[in-house]
Amino acid sequence: MKTSLIFPLLLSFFPGWILILKNYDELILQDVLITISIVVITFTFWIIVKRIIGNENKSSLIIGAGIGFFFYFGYVQDALNGIIFFGIPFDKTSILVSISAIIFIILTIYILKSKRNLEPPLKILNVVTITILLVVVIPVLIPASFAEKPNVYHIILDEYTDNEILKKKFGYDNTEFLNFLEINKFYVPEKIFSISSSTPHELSSILNMEYPKSSGWVSENYQKMNNNKVMSTFSENGYEIIETNSMMRYKNFSFVDKNLCYDTNFINSEFLDQLLNKSIIRYFMEKHQENTRRDTIRCTFDTLIQIPNNLDKPTYVFAHLYVPHPPFLFGKNGENITPDHGEISGLQSWENSQGYVNQLIFATDKISQVIEQIIEKDPSAIIVIQGDTGTNTGTNMKSEKTFDDIYKSHSILYAIRISDNENLEEINSVNTYRIIFNHIFNSNYDYLKTYNFQMNDTGELIDITKKLNSHDYAP
């Protein structure tokens, strides 16, 4: 094979090969034939262009640029997600296509008009593509025993607070569950605070391994949460990604292979749900929301128990459940409870402290069953159990929060089970996957110093780290 052909042919081979590696368990002959066809078509175009311009090197560079423009556009767009320059969103398809086309045209004109041999840059590109080929092929050649990676389960129980708050504020001692976690080799910090008291900030920070860079509830925080680094990294390393329905508004994760427990939704339109909830049939919509939430939570716990029985490749499971967060739909034994009617669609019960405790007991029993099943069927698994934030239950949501309220809303349960116990003293929500990725993939992530923030009335994030750590909670 002519050396000038190495660059364009390998470049045309990679897109299909990457998909084959990620989905080898679902591979069919058609997928291989498509990949081979792309290479053959690339070779055909190379012959045509070479005959037109009469130069092999220039033909290879032009064809390579065209392949890059066509097949790698989506990768570039994903990398530019959220980047705005001089008010221009670079990830907008129309803008990025225009910019890419201009670059391709300019590059093609330069190559055609160049009086240079252009062999040196082509040789460099050959070396780069051969190196990439080795990187993506070697993992396939490694025996399975050496390539085995642990499954990862990350289960977030919304507003599950720590034992200090449970004892002081709610008169409930959760020591039995903490002992259960320690017996099962979880590391449970004595005290840990959430990064923020808002779920979007917290989940975005956890799943991107960085502190929030913007204030407010929606926009960038949800974008970063949905297009996050953690799921992207797992996907790139051959993991199947499973996510369960949290019923969280605006959540739409990229990189997910399986979405579970979404069939509990009778109305799948958030817009229609909100519209009807303001109509005369509001009562029936509240009952619908109540039943849907209850069914989704039960489905998620039942599904998490079954997942370890049905894994055939490295798997990452992310589950966010709205318990013990209000509305309080379950008694402590799992019986159905009709929530108090508050001012938010009849589904909030912030003042019902006993309802919170009962739902926490229910959630604790269920998650204990999940943990036991995972450890029995998947003993090498990495497991993270945590609250996203502390709780607002018992807080007067109509008046200004005291610092006791803020302290309570940041105090969370956190537990991690991982065979490598080093550096766990550095644990916090931002460092969770820095530790996990360093362990699984031999990454070299630094561990970030702990910071905690509170969002004020204007949506600004205020650093409250020192104040939290020096505060003595006294209900």
What is the sign, positive or negative, of the torsion defined by CA atoms of 468, 194, 210, 385?
Answer: positive
Predicted confidence (pLDDT) per residue in 212-256, tens digit: 876 655 556 667 778 899 999 999 999 999 999 887 766 778 788
Helix (H, G, I), strand (E, B) or coil at 69: helix
pLDDT at 144: 42
Give the pLDDT band (50/70/90) at residue 315. very high
DSSP single-letter state for residue 278: T
| Structural domain contains residue 248 | yes
162-168 CB contacts, 8 Å cutoff, 24+ apart: 162/191, 162/192, 162/387, 162/390, 162/411, 162/412, 162/413, 162/414, 163/413, 164/191, 164/411, 164/473, 165/390, 165/391, 165/408, 165/411, 165/473, 166/357, 166/360, 168/473, 168/474, 168/475
251 with 112, same domain: the answer is: no
| Structural domain contains residue 73 | yes
Residue 192 has pLDDT above 90, yes or no: yes
| Structural domain contains residue 475 | no
**139 Cβ contact partners less than 8 Å away, ≥ 6 residues apart:** 21, 147, 238
| Structural domain contains residue 213 | yes
- How many domains are contained in the chain? 2
193 with 48, same domain: the answer is: no
Region of poorest pLDDT, from 88-97, 304-313, 342-351, 464-473? 342-351
CA distance 307 to 284: 34
pLDDT at 438: 92
Of 297 and 279, more confident: 297
Average pLDDT of 52-56? 86
**4 Cβ contact partners less than 8 Å away, ≥ 6 residues apart:** 56, 57, 59, 60, 122
| Count of C-beta atoms within a 10 Å radius of residue 90 | 17
Region of poorest pLDDT, from 120-134, 201-215, 430-444? 120-134
Give the pLDDT band (50/70/90) at residue 4. confident
Q: In whole numbers, what is the pLDDT of the chain averaged over residues?
A: 83
Give the pLDDT band (50/70/90) at residue 373. very high
Give the pLDDT band (50/70/90) at residue 73. confident
With a pLDDT cut of 70, the percent of the chain lying above it is: 83
pLDDT at 39: 86
244 with 272, same domain: the answer is: yes
Please report which helix (H) or strand (E) contains residue 273, including its range.
helix 270-277
139 with 158, same domain: the answer is: no
Which CATH number covers residue 378? 3.40.720.10
pLDDT at 400: 81
208 with 268, same domain: the answer is: yes
Whether 273 contacts 349, CB under 8 Å: no
138 to 134, 141, 201, 217, 256: CA distances (angstroms): 6, 5, 38, 44, 25
Predicted confidence (pLDDT) per residue in 400-429, tens digit: 889 999 999 999 999 999 987 767 888 899
Average pLDDT of 267-293? 61
What is the model's pTM? 0.68
189 with 104, same domain: the answer is: no
Tokens of 472: 């003595």
Of the candidates 104, 211, 202, 98, the one whose C-alpha atom is nearest the C-alpha of residue 159 is 202
Residue environment code for 283-303, b if the CB has 16+ CB neighbours within 10 A, otherwise e: eebbebbbebbbbbbbbbbeb
CA distance 108 to 116: 14
pLDDT at 432: 96
Of 80 and 314, more confident: 314
With a pLDDT cut of 90, the percent of the chain lying above it is: 42
| Domain finish residue from 110, 144, 178 | 144
Residue 48 has pLDDT above 80, yes or no: yes
What end-to-end distance do the CA atoms of the chain give, in Å?
Answer: 77
| Domain finish residue from 111, 144, 177 | 144
Region of poorest pLDDT, from 1-10, 132-141, 371-380? 132-141
Please report which helix (H) or strand (E) contains residue 357, including its range.
helix 353-377
Predicted confidence (pLDDT) per residue in 129-157, tens digit: 888 777 766 555 554 444 478 999 999 99
Peptide bond into 308 cis (omega under 30): no
Helix axes 163-170, 353-377, angle to 10 degrees: 150
377 with 464, same domain: the answer is: yes
Give the pLDDT band (50/70/90) at residue 365. very high
Residue numbers of the domain that contains 324: 149-470
CA distance 328 to 31: 49
